[in-house]
Chains A and B, each alone.
Chain A
Amino acid sequence: MLRAVLIKDLAITRGERRLFSGLDLTLSAGEAAVLVGRNGAGKTSLLRALAGLLRPAEGTVAFEGADGPVEADAARAEHLHLLGHQDGLKSSRTAWEELRFQTLWTGGTEESARAAAKRFDLPRLLDLEVRRLSAGQRRRLALARLAASPRTLWLLDEPMAPLDTAQRAAFGQVMSEHLAAGGMILASVHDPLPIPTRSIAIGEAGR
């Protein structure tokens, strides 16, 4: 279980271009923050850097557990979810096969996958192939793994774009519960999340 994420003086460069630099951010248990900024400002890159998929040009990311620092690799293997534009769902497999795999792979169980499917109003869709799902249904399937496997830090990239109003409210409820249980959320958004958050501007302060 993570207690805090500490980002110090982070800079990210893609190719020749410096996206941002000097980013300091501390996220602690129960807190949600949203990244705002124009397209291409580096919100997605920041999320990927936190997940360890992308090497920052400068600065450090540290994870704090209940008893002292947690090694970055361990934190990434056990304590965080990254949900990007590409959800990693195979269109030729059924929704249940994919949810089950994603849940087991990230440390959940079959029961928790079923429970999460219920929360996201998915049980009727589980036998369908992923290609038959609408964009909103597919996004709900991707979101279900957040609730299905217990990981503290959620890194979300435009999580709500294809969801309708009712589903946004339902997902807001899931996020609130996650925060109440000591979770953390860092999301890149254009529309505000239906939960209290603080905003962090990306790409303006530095350069």
Chain B
Amino acid sequence: MKAFGVLLRRELSLAWGRGGGPLLALTFYACVVVLLPMASGRAPERLAAIAPGIAWLALALAALLSLERLFERDYEDGTLDLLALGPAPLEAVAVAKCLAQWLATGAPLALAAPVAALMLGADLKVMPLLVLCALIGGLAFAFLGGLGAALALGSKRGGLLVAVIVLPLFAPPVIFGAGALDGYSAGLPWTSGLLLMLAYCAGAVALSPLAMGAACRNALD
């Protein structure tokens, strides 16, 4: 457990610095939500209607951005060898990495989401739900993205592979989250979407470390 804490601290400081860390994801997120209204035509009320959905979708894309190299660098510079020979199994190492990724980029993005939604003209009352969705969804994105990154380890076009693997896995939480947000702002039942997303997130957090550990072992062999 102590070793896990040591590793988490290190991963956090690496995630904070890796390729611009949270700034890169936040900037990308800002670009999407600034450009999108310009492309969607002159109808503020239409924009306002889809604003929570857009803020939510852009979040998923921004989360993908810095995930690609989650394991790649450690694999290239030999750190993964060292991590494999530590007191914690590679599954726990993967959990530490994904958690750190979530804390370093997922959480800042979740805080930025209401600002973006507000800018797009969304109603104030959806903001708490949006932050909640972004936090839960961000956790799922971090673990699923980590899974993609681990599976793509050692392949030449890793980035492409990550996108292809991760895209279908990202679809359910995007749908559930958008459903909850939509329902809530329209005054319809919305809890089922949130609960489904929670369940999906719990499944991802529980299962993907097993796959990540196996994928890392495979890459080292």
Q: Do A and B come from one complex?
A: yes
**Chain A residues with Cβ under 8 A from B76's Cβ?**
86
**Chain A residues with Cβ under 8 A from B220's Cβ?**
48, 53-54
Give residues 60-111 of A contacting B (CB, 8 Å). 76-78, 80-82, 84-90, 92-93, 97, 101-102, 104-107
Given contacts A84-B81, A87-B78, contact A104 B221 (CB under 8 A): no
Cα distance A89–B76 in the bound complex, in angstroms: 11
Q: Is A55 an interface residue (CB 8 A)?
A: yes
Given contacts A87-B78, A90-B77, contact A105 B86 (CB under 8 A): yes
**Residue in B closest to A76 when the chains form the complex, CB atoms:** B85
Q: What is the distance, in angstroms, from B37's C-beta to the closest C-beta of chain A?
A: 37
Q: Is A186 an interface residue (CB 8 A)?
A: no
B84 A53 Cβ-Cβ under 8 A: yes
Given contacts A92-B17, A104-B6, contact A51 B86 (CB under 8 A): no
Q: What is the distance, in angstroms, from A109's C-beta to the closest C-beta of chain B?
A: 11
**Chain A residues with Cβ under 8 A from B87's Cβ?**
77-78, 105, 107
Q: Name the one of B2, B17, B78, B221 contacting A84, with C-beta atoms under 8 angstroms.
A: B78
Q: Is B14 an interface residue (CB 8 A)?
A: yes
B85 A80 Cβ-Cβ under 8 A: yes
Interface string of B67-81 (1 = CB under 8 A from A): 000000010111111
CB contacts between A and B, total, < 8 Å: 68
A89 B77 Cβ-Cβ under 8 A: yes
Q: Is B46 an interface residue (CB 8 A)?
A: no
Given contacts A53-B220, A88-B77, contact A105 B82 (CB under 8 A): yes
Interface of B is mostly: helix
A105 B81 Cβ-Cβ under 8 A: no
Q: Name the one of A76, A86, A105 contacting B3, with C-beta atoms under 8 angstroms.
A: A105
**Residue in B closest to A102 when the chains form the complex, CB atoms:** B82
**Chain B residues with Cβ under 8 A from A90's Cβ?**
14, 77, 79
B85 A106 Cβ-Cβ under 8 A: yes
A53 B221 Cβ-Cβ under 8 A: yes
A82 B85 Cβ-Cβ under 8 A: yes
**Chain A residues with Cβ under 8 A from B78's Cβ?**
84-88
Given contacts A84-B78, A85-B78, A105-B6, contact A51 B221 (CB under 8 A): no
**Residue in B closest to A78 when the chains form the complex, CB atoms:** B87
Given contacts A52-B84, A53-B84, A88-B74, 16 further A-B contacts (CB under 8 A): A51-B81, A53-B220, A76-B85, A77-B85, A77-B87, A78-B87, A82-B81, A87-B77, A87-B78, A93-B13, A93-B14, A101-B7, A105-B3, A105-B7, A105-B83, A105-B86
6 nearest interchain CB pairs?
Answer: A86-B78, A88-B79, A88-B78, A88-B82, A53-B220, A104-B6
Query: What are 18 A-to-B residue pairs whose CB atoms are below 8 Å?
Result: A51-B85, A52-B84, A53-B84, A53-B221, A54-B220, A54-B221, A76-B85, A82-B85, A84-B81, A85-B78, A86-B78, A88-B74, A89-B77, A101-B10, A104-B3, A104-B6, A105-B6, A105-B83
